[in-house]
Amino acid sequence: LSSRTIAPLMQLTMVFSRWQHAKTAMSGLDELLKKPLDQPEEGEMAHCPTLTGHYDLRGVQYSYDEENVKSVVTINQLQIKPGERVAILGKVGAGKSTLLKLLAGQARATQGKVIVDGVDVQRIDPVDLRRQLGWLSQDSRLFFGTLRQNLMLGNPHASEQEMLQALKVSGALSLVQQDASSLDRIINEGGRGLSGGQRQMVMLSRMILRQPQVVLMDEPTASMDESLEEYVIRQMQGWLSGRTLVLVTHRPALLKLVDRIVVMDNGRIVADGPRDEILRAAAAQTAKQTGGQGDAA
């Protein structure tokens, strides 16, 4: 008799729990639908089926708050030619990542325009931009699902062979070889259970699988050890052939991938030139400062 009395109460509790879940899901969906569209009005965006990565920035300024007149990034002039490989260097807070976001169309300039292939990056159809531009930021994430599903976010039509090749270039092929479930191994939300280096390898694989013509990467090997980083650099040198690369890094080894260095300080470009010239100038400046300190002592 007591069980018959309690059973309806338990069912009522389950119904209430489901209602709470549905309410939370509905609230989240409602917030999502309120967000602005990628493409507000039909016909406003430019269709660019191919992008080569010919960037031209003139008088570009960016501030986090449009009402705040203080700009965190000010670029008087910057040009990047198709096929160039450029590293953006600078101390923490110099504006490197913000500049990369401007190039990727992930941030909107408060003044001036970021022109790529003759078109304002903000006017390019987001579908074309995502297809032609490989964007790997420090905020990139992995999602709950299989390794295959995470990779297919980069290219839904990729074959298994293409996935394995992308994993090989990024150094992540070992994740498949050491697990019997191969590409169907489960990846937890945010990549929990994987090391920082492994997460970066998978995210790099996802970007490679897209086969973009323009590659923008922010600290892509920051969590990798030196031997893995060296392997990735060797693999990427061949893969990057003919592609435009803009790279933000503090790891000296990655400079092997570039032929030009842009140095930023306080949101401005303070040096720009061939890699070897910039490195020699930096070494000479360091030696001069060290010598001055030695004389003072």
Per-residue pLDDT of the chain (297 residues; tens, 9 = 90+): 566 677 777 788 888 888 888 888 888 888 878 776 666 555 578 888 889 999 999 999 999 876 666 889 999 999 999 999 999 999 999 999 999 999 999 999 999 999 999 999 999 988 888 888 999 998 889 999 999 999 999 999 999 999 999 999 999 988 888 765 688 888 999 999 899 999 999 999 999 999 999 999 999 999 999 999 999 999 999 999 999 999 999 999 999 999 999 999 999 999 999 999 999 998 998 888 776 665 555
Rounded Cα distance, 32 and 248, in Å: 31
The helix (run of H) or strand (run of E) holding residue 56 is: strand 55-62
User: How high is the pLDDT of residue 40?
Assistant: 55
User: How high is the pLDDT of residue 159?
Assistant: 94
Class for the domain spanning 55-289: alpha beta
User: How high is the pLDDT of residue 11?
Assistant: 80
The three-class DSSP label of residue 17 is helix
The helix (run of H) or strand (run of E) holding residue 103 is: helix 96-104
**Is the pTM for the entire model greater than 0.85?**
no
User: How high is the pLDDT of residue 37?
Assistant: 64
Rounded Cα distance, 30 and 38, in Å: 17
Neighbours of 120 (CB within 10 A): 13
Rounded Cα distance, 8 and 14, in Å: 10
The three-class DSSP label of residue 95 is coil
Rounded Cα distance, 249 and 211, in Å: 22
User: How high is the pLDDT of residue 178?
Assistant: 73
Amino acid occupying residue 157: H
For 282, 284, 287, 288, the CA distances from 294, given in Å and listed in that order, are: 18, 15, 10, 10
User: How high is the pLDDT of residue 97?
Assistant: 96
Residues 6+ apart with CB under 8 A from 281: 271
> Where along the chain do its domains lie?
55-289
| Dihedral of alpha carbons 272, 276, 281, 287, sign | positive
